[in-house]
Amino acid sequence: ISSVELTQLYLDRINRLNPAINAYVSTQPERSLAQAKAADARLAAGDAGPLTGIPLAQKDIFCAEGWLTTCGSKMLANFVSPYDATVIQKFDAAGAVNLGKTNMDEFAMGSSNETSFFGPVKNPWDQSRVPGGSSGGSAAAVAARLAPAATGTDTGGSIRQPAALCNLTGLKPTYGVVSRWGMIAFASSLDQAGPMARSAEDCGLLLNAMAGFDPKDSTSLERPVEDYTRELNAPAAAKPLAGLKIGLPKEFFGEGCDAAVMAAIQAAIEQYKALGAEMVEVSLPNMKLSVPAYYVIAPAEASSNLSRFDGVRYGYRAPEYDSLDDMYAKSRAQGFGAEVKRRILIGTYVLSHGYYDAYYLQAQRIRRLIAEDFVAAFKQCDVILGPTSPSTAFKLGDKAGDPVQMYLSDIYTIAVNLAGLPGMSLPCGFAEGLPVGLQLIGNYFDEARLLNVAHRYQ
């Protein structure tokens, strides 16, 4: 099959099924097909890599030249980016085809996709349920076969949680492995882009294209280029994971997780034992502080990052105003949704004189303690295993009115971002007909091993 045929096949499916799922915010079929044609020429010339001609969906947080780049917000609903994010450039260079931009929670703030200005995304497994968030459009697109794979970003769980709720494999790399240049910033010290796909192998192929040092991102890490799929093709052995120590943090196995989800996780643990892995109990005593610390640090950074949306340089401007200050105020009041405003208010509060020490500094101290917990745990084990999300996909509207309930859906994912570690979610069966995600957390730069541990299970 040629890339043009493959791309056309996906575009037809998008046409037919996207109105119900709402996974894509924008497509440009002619541009996608032109890219596919160029990829076919490269294939014919023998100048092709593993992604040449492969159509991919891009989360609408990545700037892509000539594409609407909305970040799920009214603020950017008409913003056409004049340049490509590094991630987009890298996929272009690899010859991948951009199928379109996917729906997401507004500015990546949310766990259900319900904060999007473009309306909620439906979970393809049950359209009365959420796909997770914030990368819910990407997850739904791959799950509904409207794309073979997609990009996501993960500040507190936004790749792993939607991957779990939609039965996908998703990887958040070590902080600094993938360039953030051209990726609209939410909380810069936590944001990291990564792949969402149907298998660990596909995630590895995408990560190979995405990763790498970028002088345009000051937190990008200068490291040798890696092949993240290098461990996947080792000859199959009876016990392919013999010698691997898997840490089970007792904090992941206490209260707070649905019994049906836990049953699927326990079954996965048995399977890992059969593959030769050894289970060791570990502890992350400060895990319980991760949600409160995150909801100080992430809004603090967001309140600073979002100050650029002032109605002057780009984005939404209120049609009527009395003065410059009034223009700022009205543009922001009308352009941002409720969750984004809540975060800006929390963020400016915790950074304000008199509260900075009590909230922001304390949260930074907790962040350090959480990172140290992981350092100690990784002295006893190679990877950490637990649930990705405490529940399967919930009903649309169920948590939309209760921010704290929504925030708690990330209890198992947020600590990983605070520590900057790589983490992934992979499918581990179903509970009452809905997908369950298994989370694997690795030590810094251990993506290749994580992918292999996921691959052996699949």
Smallest distance from ligand GLN to CB 157, Å: 5
- The token pair at 79 is 């913003």
- Whichever of 141 and 205 has its CB closer to ligand GLN, that residue is 141
Contact 186, 152 (CB under 8 A): no
Smallest distance from ligand GLN to CB 135, Å: 8
Residue 433, Cβ neighbours under 10 Å: how many?
A: 8
- Whichever of 106 and 231 has its CB closer to ligand GLN, that residue is 106
Point out which residues pair with 425 in neighbouring strands.
Answer: 170, 439
Q: Which long-range contacts (CB under 8 A, 24 or more apart) does 324-330 make?
A: none
109 binds ligand GLN (CB under 6 A): yes
400-429 residues near ligand GLN, rule: CB under 6 A: 410
156 binds ligand GLN (CB under 6 A): yes
Known active-site residue 250 = no
- Can you say how many angstroms the Cα of residue 238 is from the centroid of all Cα atoms in its chain? 34
* Rg of the chain in Å (alpha carbons): 21
Contact 106, 73 (CB under 8 A): yes
Among the listed residues 7, 102, 158, 392, the single contact to ligand GLN using CB under 6 A: 158
Known active-site residue 32 = no
- Whichever of 52 and 188 has its CB closer to ligand GLN, that residue is 188
Residue range at the interface with ligand GLN (CB under 6 A); choices 15-23, 154-162, 234-242, 381-389: 154-162
Residue range at the interface with ligand GLN (CB under 6 A); choices 41-49, 52-60, 153-161, 307-315: 153-161
Smallest distance from ligand GLN to CB 390, Å: 13
154 binds ligand GLN (CB under 6 A): yes
110 binds ligand GLN (CB under 6 A): yes
- Whichever of 27 and 305 has its CB closer to ligand GLN, that residue is 305
Residue 366, amino acid: I
- Whichever of 138 and 208 has its CB closer to ligand GLN, that residue is 138
Smallest distance from ligand GLN to CB 174, Å: 16
290 binds ligand GLN (CB under 6 A): no
Residue 270, Cβ neighbours under 10 Å: how many?
A: 10
Which residue sits closest to ligand GLN, CB atoms considered? 158
Locus of tokens 């304000």: 352
134 binds ligand GLN (CB under 6 A): yes
Contact 70, 25 (CB under 8 A): yes
Q: Which of 59, 101, 172, 399 is catalytic?
A: 59
- Whichever of 317 and 342 has its CB closer to ligand GLN, that residue is 342
Residue 351, amino acid: L
Q: What is the DSSP string of 160-207?
A: HHHHHHTT-EEEEPPTTSB--TTBPPSSTTT-EEEEEESSHHHHHHHH
Residues with Cβ within 8 Å of residue 162, at least 6 apart in sequence: 113, 131, 132, 133, 134, 135, 136, 138, 139, 140, 152, 168, 170, 196
Helix (H) or strand (E) holding 55: strand 55-59
Among the listed residues 35, 102, 111, 208, the single contact to ligand GLN using CB under 6 A: 111
Smallest distance from ligand GLN to CB 386, Å: 17
Q: What is the DSSP string of 388-433?
A: SSSSSPPBTTTTTT-HHHHHHTTTTTHHHHHHT--EEEEEEEEETT
157 binds ligand GLN (CB under 6 A): yes
Q: Which of 3, 111, 158, 290 is catalytic?
A: 158
- Whichever of 241 and 344 has its CB closer to ligand GLN, that residue is 344
Known active-site residue 74 = no
Residue range at the interface with ligand GLN (CB under 6 A); choices 105-113, 222-230, 319-327, 328-336: 105-113
Residue range at the interface with ligand GLN (CB under 6 A); choices 109-117, 198-206, 270-278, 360-368: 109-117
Contact 97, 53 (CB under 8 A): yes
- Whichever of 154 and 201 has its CB closer to ligand GLN, that residue is 154
Smallest distance from ligand GLN to CB 347, Å: 12
131 binds ligand GLN (CB under 6 A): no
3-state helix/strand/coil string of 243-261: CCEEEEEHHHCCCCCCHHH
Q: Which of 3, 32, 81, 134 is catalytic?
A: 134
Among the listed residues 108, 121, 261, 381, the single contact to ligand GLN using CB under 6 A: 108
Contact 297, 189 (CB under 8 A): yes
303 binds ligand GLN (CB under 6 A): no
Sheet holding 423-431, edge to edge: 24-26, 97-102, 55-59, 150-154, 192-197, 169-172, 423-431, 434-442, 383-387, 245-249, 278-282
- Residues binding ligand GLN (CB under 6 A): 108-111, 134, 154-158, 186, 298, 410
**Which residues are the active-site residues?**
59, 134, 158
